[in-house]
Structure 1
């Protein structure tokens, strides 16, 4: 049965259209199960009825004509229950409805299973037999499995309009949920980027002229290298030096001593250039795609993109340029960072990628350049969207295809309001962050790439609340030397002096592995990461801490933050190493260093219940709300299948944050929060009410949060907090926040409505 199932799934997945897929299913399922009838009913959302779309065994003339309301017949009963219905004698059931057009009066046994996609019933798959019998558990399980495989196909067909008999190439309006990778909203025309060359279609072939093959390969390699350099040069004024290092990494991959050397070796073994290139690239990609951690999987995408570019040059004798309309939304299965430099800045409005996450190089660059982006759109029929009008909502992680006039106008108004809002907020950016009744709360910057400190300071940032030191490690080809770290840290500390800069010690593992130090684990987010890794490698920890201390000489604005703390022993061991580094630098080298404050991150739930003990061992606490939310809700926010369940407004998350603040106050230790919740105006008001003494966020959020806090008083914030802490669901919390923001005239600070 398993082999039969595999064959059916393979045939359906390669079917040229929906009707062919349905035909395959009814024929193959009827044969595999030995039934008299197999039928597929699909829900027509506009009519609200289940329509017979294909059948083998019933009257074929009824296809497309017979339909049932959800309240009618056994088919509607299956759809309402959203679970299988298995009957020995169907005509005796109270919900049975006789349909003379189908000729089904002679069939007694009935098994119907719902076709469900993302909690919505799309249709019903039915088998019937003349004899009276209950289908056994194995048969029921087989049909349920087929229905589950059919669900994704039907969802795509429904969205693309092929179920609604629209003209070819036209799409009904539909909304797709993905991962918000870079904030912002854009309305534009989809430009679908297909792979520039198909590595999988290159045949194996021997060559008699190996010198010519090597020459053509090296020429293609040179063209691609020059193109990447040109892209980097175009982006020189739009991204920082660290972000440009991404393109240096690409050039290193293409070096004749790296990827190129392997291809040359393959050619010298007798293979033609295209085949040698495809072989080497696919081997690297296959290895990296098996790795659990997200960062290395993203590197597989980079290598595949580079391989395609070189192959295109080999096949075409040079690069083929694409034309871009003035309002381009780039759409692709796996967009690469190099595309950002190919599209003229004034034409590129947004990025939409089926694959990828908020940790990808593309997402990093998009945020740095202020380009809205959505990724992880697993259900998007991307290859069919070229030329279609689309809306990209980078706040929600949503893409709307072929929007109606009402939706377009709604988002056009939001874009206009956002521009006006940005201008008005910048006018008050330099004012202090103080509530109407005089309560002050510092706003600080979250950063990891080279910060735009000029803008941050003009926005009123009172320092850096979280500097992610791992970014430098992730972009390097090896562990950075101590002096390289000193140079980078000194830049940050100097730029914000005398304001404090909180530098988190190396936080790798989980979703942030190092390319040169892969960590292979079954469950990396619960594994060897953060402080666990650095305590096991004191040489790495000590080198980094010494670099931080050296960089702080004479500035004295360094604070050190320890990530992923789950026990007091980790804090004690880390502090002992920090004291050792500080003493060695003072005594052995005579550096006049001030002892920096050391803090612990509260992001592991266990740490929530050790606040008092931690307070006796550190100088301050910083709540990492993103990871804390992820661990409390058991939701991987970079997984598009469950990302919708991730919310900082979940009642359990708010209760946990309240508990932390209360415990910190009782222990008389400063507590701040860094994370997405701090960068949301409504979330910042709740955190203000809870008693957090500092909020750290990304640069774009600073003006919005400040505007919200300056327009409320502390008592109003506390009354709002009291209401939301009684809520039983995220929806209730969001509802209260929406009413509050609108009543105070702060609704304009929120994202798009509707």
Structure 2
């Protein structure tokens, strides 16, 4: 059964059509379980469950039978969200008979819910004519099938909702991880990996004849490549191996494959899409053959398909058009792909894979581009030339939005534009509350592109300079001199204001291509200070570069990431002192800069007093601290909704850190995303944080919010919400406080679009 299950999942994965996938499922499950009937009921928009595919019931009943929530046996499975196994279904009080199905002759009933992200998408049912209660192994198998296929059906359902080429698309919504706030409305431009048959964008063509000529030209170029390769390897391969090239050439001349592709092009499909689909269909056919020799030919066909696809994509890329409001979409985008978009045309970014710390996310934030990563359910290959809305506040991608929704988001976008223009007036004003409490607002940076934006928005210093960015953007470790030049630019740009440089923070979801770290659980593994202490040559080179860069400026601060014990701190300090004295011996006129620790793991929270007694400052990394406290990976789209920055446990930890640090006379800052949330910033000021460091885009909003309140009012709010049992209650009270302060409408950054209702 395990082999059968794998084969079934492979078959379903190989199709991009929802109805074909459902037909495959009911056919195969019926065969494997040797039952009389197998059917699938799927949820519709109105929370009803409709018969979508069957093998055994009357075919005309498909699409005709609809059951409401908790209606009939299928509805009972939905309501209970667990399997129902009955020996005689007709005698059960919840049994509901539909004459169109012809199911009156079936007595045995077993239904298993298809659940994805806690939602019952449908019900998988098998039935038997005689009275029969399915045994435990059969019930377990059906549950296993449902669990395995839940994600597949969710993805296929979403794909089907978008329609096929030539049909009217429908609005659909997909969730991901917000990496850069704001909203963007535009047209999708899909960028796919080179020569990946399973990742070709579904595009159309206007001139089938020209498209076919383009296809045949690429096939001829691929044929020439193969002939040249065969000639080069002649004499080095056996006759059997040499014959493989003849097989490739024969396939390229196969009239059947050429006709299949050209027929699809005549319907309006592009050459790249038509070619990939035909090859994948043939590969799937070979793969499922029982004959070992024939099944192995699937890899030959796939290889040939990639060769032709490479030529198709290479030529098509040269002709790619970027509209004025480009929404860049891909499975795994890179910084270089963003760079290919002409200046001023990139409106938004959506990636199926990736995280908030990827190259793309860092660059997009620096550019102020709304960005969503980890949109795992998005059928991205169908997004080319589609109308798309990127909601960077809620981490949503809305495809083919209706006019009313477009109008609502356009209104939000216009409000954002007016807000930015309105806040320019307070750029040069101090961040001071109504009762004259001064708050230092610093910025987080990583690229030189951040510098000008930060200074324009009135930044008073840098609370976090991500030194790993220059490492990420190279194909090797940067030399000490290369680092010195980069750090010098940052220090000079913000002089005389302080610049806090975090030592190399790799590991977790930040991996260097030339220094890969592969671990089963990277967030609890070799990362941050753990890596650099194990490689003192890397750490010392970086510290020396920082100290050299600070000569004559003296505005450097050094911050150590991922500290979880006093011994780690002391080991790092020994290396810093060593580098400092070495440079003094080399006649550099430098001063020992302030040294601080990032508090981002629970251990550091409970040792904040001991750490504060040994350093010049503490700085809270609220992003990592929140995910470690809540055990929620913020880059995982499946649990991102559980990442609550204002969770009471997080607030209490943040308050404790300030109290412990101040008890030692040590200032404390916060440099996570929380500091850039105007509502959260009020709570942080009430706690006593000395510095708030944030993305430059959010700095004016935070300043405007803090200038509209008193510390006394913020302290009363904190005393109230810190005792609440859950994050929603905290968020509600903070929103009400913002309303009373008269700044809610303009400054509710994380909730800017929460009032917009989006139909799936």
**Contact 2:630/2:643 (CA < 8 Å) preserved in 1?**
yes
Structure 1 pair 546–387 and aligned structure 2 pair: CA distance change class (3 A): closer
**Partners of 1:38 and 1:139 in 2: CA distance:** 13
Q: Which moved more, 1:731-740 or 1:560-569?
A: 731-740
Q: Which residue number in structure 1 is paired with residue 28 of structure 2?
A: 28
SS at match of 2:103: coil
Give a deviation string over 1:428-468, Cα, whole Å, max 9, x none: 11110111111111011111222543442332211111111
SS at match of 2:101: coil
SS at match of 2:356: coil
2:441 counterpart of 1:443: yes
**Partners of 1:11 and 1:211 in 2: CA distance:** 34
The alpha carbon displacement at 1:483 in A equals 2.1
The alpha carbon displacement at 1:480 in A equals 2.3
Give a deviation string over 1:586-641, Cα, whole Å, max 9, x none: 2x223333222111111111111112211221111111111111111222222222
The alpha carbon displacement at 1:195 in A equals 5.3
Which of 347, 357, 361 does residue 363 from structure 1 map onto? 361
- TM-score, reference length from structure 2: 0.81
Structure 1 pair 62–456 and aligned structure 2 pair: CA distance change class (3 A): closer
Q: Which residue number in structure 1 is paired with residue 239 of structure 2?
A: none
Which of 590, 594, 598 does residue 593 from structure 1 map onto? 590
State how 1:168-317 maps to structure 2 within 5 Å.
169-194=167-192, 197-198=195-196, 209=228, 312=310
**Contact 1:566/1:604 (CA < 8 Å) preserved in 2?**
yes
State how 1:395-434 maps to structure 2 within 5 Å.
395-434=393-432
Query: What count of residue pairs does the alignment treat as equivalent?
Result: 664
The alpha carbon displacement at 1:344 in A equals 3.3
**Partners of 1:140 and 1:468 in 2: CA distance:** 53
The alpha carbon displacement at 1:312 in A equals 4.8
**Contact 2:17/2:159 (CA < 8 Å) preserved in 1?**
no
State how 1:78-97 maps to structure 2 within 5 Å.
78-97=77-96
2:631 counterpart of 1:637: no
Which of 660, 667, 671 does residue 668 from structure 2 map onto? 671
Q: Which residue number in structure 2 is paired with residue 474 of structure 1?
A: 472
Q: Which residue number in structure 2 is paired with residue 753 of structure 1?
A: 754
**Partners of 1:358 and 1:477 in 2: CA distance:** 21
Give a deviation string over 1:125-160, Cα, whole Å, max 9, x none: 111223334323321222122223433343345445
**Partners of 2:74 and 2:450 in 1: CA distance:** 60
2:3 counterpart of 1:3: yes
The alpha carbon displacement at 1:660 in A equals 1.5
- TM-score, reference length from structure 1: 0.82
Q: Which residue number in structure 2 is paired with residue 580 of structure 1?
A: 578
Structure 1 pair 347–567 and aligned structure 2 pair: CA distance change class (3 A): closer
Give a deviation string over 1:500-559, Cα, whole Å, max 9, x none: 111111212222222222223222211121111222222222222222222222222221
**Contact 1:159/1:171 (CA < 8 Å) preserved in 2?**
no
The alpha carbon displacement at 1:342 in A equals 4.1
Q: Which moved more, 1:96-105 or 1:371-380?
A: 96-105
The alpha carbon displacement at 1:650 in A equals 2.0
Give a deviation string over 1:230-264, Cα, whole Å, max 9, x none: xxxxxxxxxxxxxxxxxxxxxxxxxxxxxxxxxxx
Q: Which moved more, 1:406-415 or 1:637-646?
A: 637-646
Q: Which residue number in structure 1 is paired with residue 349 of structure 2?
A: 351
**Contact 1:507/1:563 (CA < 8 Å) preserved in 2?**
yes
SS at match of 1:677: helix
Structure 1 pair 654–137 and aligned structure 2 pair: CA distance change class (3 A): farther
**Partners of 2:184 and 2:313 in 1: CA distance:** 35
**Contact 2:359/2:472 (CA < 8 Å) preserved in 1?**
no
Structure 1 pair 487–388 and aligned structure 2 pair: CA distance change class (3 A): closer
| Unpaired segments ≥5 residues, structure 1 | 215-269, 276-307
**Contact 1:186/1:350 (CA < 8 Å) preserved in 2?**
yes
Q: Which residue number in structure 1 is paired with residue 373 of structure 2?
A: 375
Q: Which residue number in structure 1 is paired with residue 724 of structure 2?
A: 727
The alpha carbon displacement at 1:713 in A equals 0.8
**Contact 1:312/1:319 (CA < 8 Å) preserved in 2?**
no
**Partners of 2:389 and 2:682 in 1: CA distance:** 30
SS at match of 1:400: strand
The alpha carbon displacement at 1:204 in A equals 9.7
The alpha carbon displacement at 1:392 in A equals 1.0
The alpha carbon displacement at 1:702 in A equals 0.9
**Partners of 1:749 and 1:206 in 2: CA distance:** 59
Q: Which moved more, 1:175-184 or 1:359-368?
A: 359-368
Q: Which residue number in structure 2 is paired with residue 497 of structure 1?
A: 495
Structure 1 pair 753–576 and aligned structure 2 pair: CA distance change class (3 A): same
**Partners of 2:540 and 2:337 in 1: CA distance:** 39
The alpha carbon displacement at 1:734 in A equals 1.9
Q: Which residue number in structure 1 is paired with residue 564 of structure 2?
A: 566
**Contact 2:658/2:689 (CA < 8 Å) preserved in 1?**
yes
| Unpaired segments ≥5 residues, structure 2 | 201-218, 234-243, 250-305, 756-760
**Partners of 2:540 and 2:138 in 1: CA distance:** 62
**Contact 1:160/1:170 (CA < 8 Å) preserved in 2?**
no
**Contact 1:160/1:171 (CA < 8 Å) preserved in 2?**
no
**Contact 2:161/2:170 (CA < 8 Å) preserved in 1?**
no
State how 1:110-189 maps to structure 2 within 5 Å.
110-160=109-159, 162=161, 169-189=167-187
The alpha carbon displacement at 1:661 in A equals 1.8
**Contact 2:18/2:159 (CA < 8 Å) preserved in 1?**
no
Q: Which moved more, 1:33-42 or 1:691-700?
A: 33-42
Q: Which moved more, 1:366-375 or 1:112-121?
A: 366-375
Which of 326, 329, 347 does residue 327 from structure 2 map onto? 329
**Contact 1:554/1:593 (CA < 8 Å) preserved in 2?**
yes
SS at match of 2:638: coil
RMSD: 3.1
Q: Which residue number in structure 2 is paired with residue 484 of structure 1?
A: 482
Which of 608, 618, 622 does residue 605 from structure 2 map onto? 608
**Contact 1:542/1:581 (CA < 8 Å) preserved in 2?**
yes
SS at match of 2:679: helix
State how 1:690-701 maps to structure 2 within 5 Å.
690-701=687-698
